[in-house]
Amino acid sequence: MAFVATRPSSFRIILKNGFKIEPGSTLLTGFHGLGEVGFLSTAHLTRTLKADRVGFIKSDMLPLFVSMENERLVLPFEIYSYAEKKMVFLVPRFQPHQSDQWNFIDRLADWIAENEFAETILLGGLDMSFKEEGDGDSIRCVPTAAYKSMVEKWAVPILEEGLFVAGPLALLLAELEMRDTPGIGLLSYATRGRPDPRSAATMLEKINDVFGVKANVDQLLEESREIERLEKMRKSIEERDDPASMYL
């Protein structure tokens, strides 16, 4: 039986050293959805662009984990700024707690609207099995009504009818739509069941092109090659150990 919160959890965004969001900024974030594309893309952007950590999300439903990265303590939900392009990144190292996702996303959407972001870009994955043979487009988009005037710059098709966006990304898109706030979900085709750095690299190449930034994707491609190599090795071992293969 799933745990259900009996009261709204606390939620507070803490910005360091008096940092303020400049009106007209762009917010980018992504969650641990299919292929972990959203999280991989957002986290890699902050590293390769050397964005400054400027804040955190504090909640009484905060995951009970911290870790180290580049000899610095990293927290579950961090906010970064890349001032050169007026870009702000929310890096969620964990999914919001399942029982708190509605409250978490509702409060986040309020913060987005209050700070007058020009656009909110939500990055995620789309099941590779939906990609049709010969389809040259690797990304689909899901814009809010308030984003329609900006969608053309991405030069990617809108998600086909009958396909669904799920999880926190879907909930945040819905909340932005209800607030008449400009936002877009960008979904790159990804492999189900494992992290897909290659899909994240495809996403970052599109962001590089649209925003004129230079987020290096070489590390993501190298990680992808290693994952694919291990996947082939695993399948080879499974086929070798399959008794049925002895009779082929």
What whole-number distance in Å separates Cα of residue 123 and Cα of residue 33?
A: 9
Q: What is the pLDDT of residues 94-125, one digit of tens each?
A: 888 888 889 999 999 999 999 999 999 999 99
Compute CA 9 distance to the chain's CA centroid, rounded to the nearest angstrom: 23
Note whether 37 and 200 are within 8 A (CB): yes
**Cα–Cα nearest to 46, from 110, 123, 149:** 123
Please tell me the predicted confidence (pLDDT) of residue 217: 87
Q: What is the number of other CB atoms lying within 10 angstroms of the CB of residue 184?
A: 23
Q: Which residues 6+ apart lie within 8 Å of 181 measured at CB?
A: 109, 112, 113, 117, 120, 144, 146
Domain layout of the chain by residue ranges: 11-216
112 membership: H or E segment, kind and range: helix 101-114
Band of pLDDT at residue 178, cut at 50, 70 and 90: very high
At the fourth CATH level, which superfamily is domain 11-216? Answer: PAC-like subunit (3.40.50.10900)
Pairwise pLDDT comparison (99 vs 47), residue with the higher score: 47
Please tell me the predicted confidence (pLDDT) of residue 235: 65
Q: Which residues 6+ apart lie within 8 Å of 8 measured at CB?
A: 103
What whole-number distance in Å separates Cα of residue 215 and Cα of residue 203?
A: 11
Q: What is the pLDDT of residues 148-159, one digit of tens each?
A: 999 999 999 999
Mean pLDDT value of segment 124-135: 87
Band of pLDDT at residue 15, cut at 50, 70 and 90: very high
Q: What is the pLDDT of residues 180-229, one digit of tens each?
A: 999 999 999 999 888 898 999 999 999 999 999 998 888 888 877 776 67
